[in-house]
Amino acid sequence: METTKAIATRRSIRAFKPDPIKDSDLQTILRAAKMAPIGRGLYDNVHITVVQKASLIDKIAAAAKQATGNDLSPNYGASTLIIVSGKPLGGLEIGNAACIVENMLIAATDLGLGSCYIWGAIHVTKDQKDIIAELHLPDGLVPVSAAAIGYAVTPADSEAEERPIGVNVVK
């Protein structure tokens, strides 16, 4: 798929089939993640965790529900939740995670998979010691955001229209 077509057809999917994604697709998505730019080249300040263990996803959902009152699963039923963690660096970890997640979302779309950027349900887990322990994160890193990846119940069938975002060109 052409890059701009993948960007134009990517949607936030919030209903997934329970089928697991192919290992080869997961490897392609992780490869895209590892190609993301990282601020100041501090690659040891980011970490990616693939969660396909239903009981851990349930714990994350319970933590999110307790913190937000939202009863939605953090993965919307997707078979794979890929969490991006980072070392808190005054917001740099958020930018790094955003670059990594966006690469994964575009790669997933290119593979015909659905995806959704997950922030709130992941952000609240940073203080959950039992969840952090199960994620096996390197010391000093906390969950920042994630991508739910899987087969969409209803795949996107058209390209998005350009959004009315203001643009200035200063020469």
Domain locations along the chain: 3-150
What is the Cα–Cα distance from 152 to 161, expressed in whole angstroms?
21
The answer to whether 8 touches 106, Cβ cutoff 8 Å, is no
Residue-wise pLDDT tens digits, 144-161: 999 999 999 987 767 777
Measured between alpha carbons, how far apart are the two ends of the chain, in Å?
34
Residue-wise pLDDT tens digits, 35-67: 999 999 999 999 999 999 999 998 998 888 888
Under CATH, to which class is 3-150 assigned? alpha beta
Question: How far is CA 161 from each of CA 9, 69, 152, 156, rounded to the nearest angstrom?
Answer: 10, 33, 21, 13
